[in-house]
Amino acid sequence: MDTVVAARLPRPSRTDLVLAAGFTAAVVVGALLVAGGQDRYRPLDVAGVLLIGLAAGTTVGWHRAAPLWSLGAATVLVNGYLLAGFPYGPVLLCLVIAVFEVARQQPLRRSALACGIAAAISSGTMLVRLLTDGGASPLLAVVWATWIALPWSLGALVHVADAARRRSRADLVARAALQERARLAGEVHDIAGHAFALITMQAGVAMLVFDEQPEQARRSLAAVQETSGTALAELRRMLDSLHPRPGAATDPAGVPGLGDLVRRVRAGGLPVEVTVDGDRPVPGSLAGGVYRVVQEALTNVLRHAGPTTARVSVRTTPAELVVEVADQGAGIAGPPGRGLTVMRRRVDQLGGELTAGPYEDGFRVVARLPMPAAER
């Protein structure tokens, strides 16, 4: 039972213990130095000074781990010290430190109540001490109360500032979460929306021609199977971007799923050359956009360029990330298709710029994405 109770007691940090040792030494040395100039007060021997120094150091040692307990102990110590008639000395500062820490850590109402009680008790004690001494103005008790109110005011200001910083950080985290949810929603929309549209169309065709054209129905069902498999692989790739799998380090530029995408395109008959330039991997916040640009660009090459080769380049600099996909085919004929629209929307969401058009003997897509501030 004693072990359980001891485990629940707050423990001061190593820094607090060092501070407590330093404060103990300061109280002992200070009390010995000031005692000589206050002969009319009750004298303290060396043992008494050491005991009071240890008691004051103990309250300081726990002032952050258990601020209310520290305040209570400091109040008892300081008031007992004053009522005993000992010389004024640095031991009084332990109450100031405890008041400041309570105001810094505790809610304003609680700290105001606790520190107000401590100030009222110690001010009354100081008044009694001044009246007993004779010749001292009782107004010094008001000065003492002000001396207690000052650290509370400073601690309360720090408390309010810390709370504002915490709220600001919470707002930043909430906004980042909303942006991430929007990004994931866009990913799911691009993957599932396109796949379901194709599946619905091919399934409808299969139902219409199932009896009269079984071969066509078989081809439509095969397209459904291929499209659903591709969509499933895309969803897995998106999940990998959230929880990278062990093999994700083999993906070019550290973009989850990019290696698998290139292998699938190569297996489909399109030679793809991938180059990565830069010392740093693609930041996680940009990885989905990079993957989508490369995927849609290579899909356009497969659909429109004819026999050709493709080149994928990912280049990172401290300021931006540049993704380039180029081919040596005939180029895209006609108005821009869905792939370019998807790429442009994704790049716009990331604050970047997309250019696409004829280049040398083929077609080139270039996406420029600004690096997140934390990565610069």
**Per-residue confidence band for 341, with pLDDT thresholds at 50, 70 and 90:** confident
Whole-Å CA distances, 2 to 10, 11, 112, 312: 15, 16, 34, 67
Say whether pLDDT at 70 is over 70.
Answer: yes
pLDDT score, position 328: 80
pLDDT score, position 374: 58
pLDDT score, position 151: 93
Say whether pLDDT at 5 is over 50.
Answer: no
pLDDT score, position 240: 65
Whole-Å CA distances, 331 to 113, 308, 314, 338, 359: 77, 10, 21, 16, 9
pLDDT score, position 312: 92
Q: Provide the token pair at 45.
A: 């021997």
Weakest mean pLDDT among 125-134, 224-233, 247-256: 247-256
Weakest mean pLDDT among 170-174, 211-215, 273-277, 342-346: 170-174
Average pLDDT over residues 162-180: 77
For residues 33-42, b (16+ Cβ closer than 10 Å) or e, as one string? eebeeeeebe
pLDDT score, position 88: 82
**Per-residue confidence band for 338, with pLDDT thresholds at 50, 70 and 90:** low
Weakest mean pLDDT among 19-28, 45-54, 66-75, 228-237: 228-237
Q: Provide the token pair at 122.
A: 């110690």
Residues ≥6 apart with Cβ < 8 Å to 241: 256, 257, 284, 287, 288, 291
Angle between helix axes 284-300 and 139-188 (nearest 10 degrees) is 20
Q: Provide the token pair at 132.
A: 């007993």
The alpha carbon of 301 is separated from its chain's Cα centroid by a whole number of angstroms, namely 40
CATH class of the region 258-376: alpha beta
pLDDT > 70 in the chain, percent: 82
pLDDT score, position 360: 76
The tens digit of pLDDT for each residue in 8-18 reads: 557 888 888 99
Q: Between residues 274 and 200, which one has the greater pLDDT? A: 274
Say whether pLDDT at 81 is over 70.
Answer: yes
**Per-residue confidence band for 96, with pLDDT thresholds at 50, 70 and 90:** very high
pLDDT score, position 331: 54
The tens digit of pLDDT for each residue in 252-268 reads: 667 777 887 888 778 76
Q: Provide the token pair at 251.
A: 């993906």
Weakest mean pLDDT among 25-29, 128-132, 187-191: 187-191
Weakest mean pLDDT among 60-74, 200-214, 288-302: 200-214
pLDDT score, position 85: 82
- Contact criterion met (CB below 8 Å) for 91 and 77: yes
Say whether pLDDT at 43 is over 60.
Answer: yes
Number of H helices, E strands in the chain: 12, 5
pLDDT score, position 134: 67
- Contact criterion met (CB below 8 Å) for 223 and 273: no
Q: Is 271 left (phi over 0), alpha (psi -120 to 50) or beta?
A: beta
- Contact criterion met (CB below 8 Å) for 106 and 152: no
Q: Between residues 179 and 67, which one has the greater pLDDT? A: 67
Q: Between the CA atoms of 137, 141, 144 and 150, what dihedral angle is there, to the nearest 10 degrees?
A: -120
Q: Where are the domains of the chain?
A: 2-172, 258-376
**Per-residue confidence band for 111, with pLDDT thresholds at 50, 70 and 90:** very high
Closest CA to 96 of 149, 25, 31, 20: 149
**Per-residue confidence band for 351, with pLDDT thresholds at 50, 70 and 90:** confident
The alpha carbon of 106 is separated from its chain's Cα centroid by a whole number of angstroms, namely 24
Average pLDDT over residues 93-113: 93
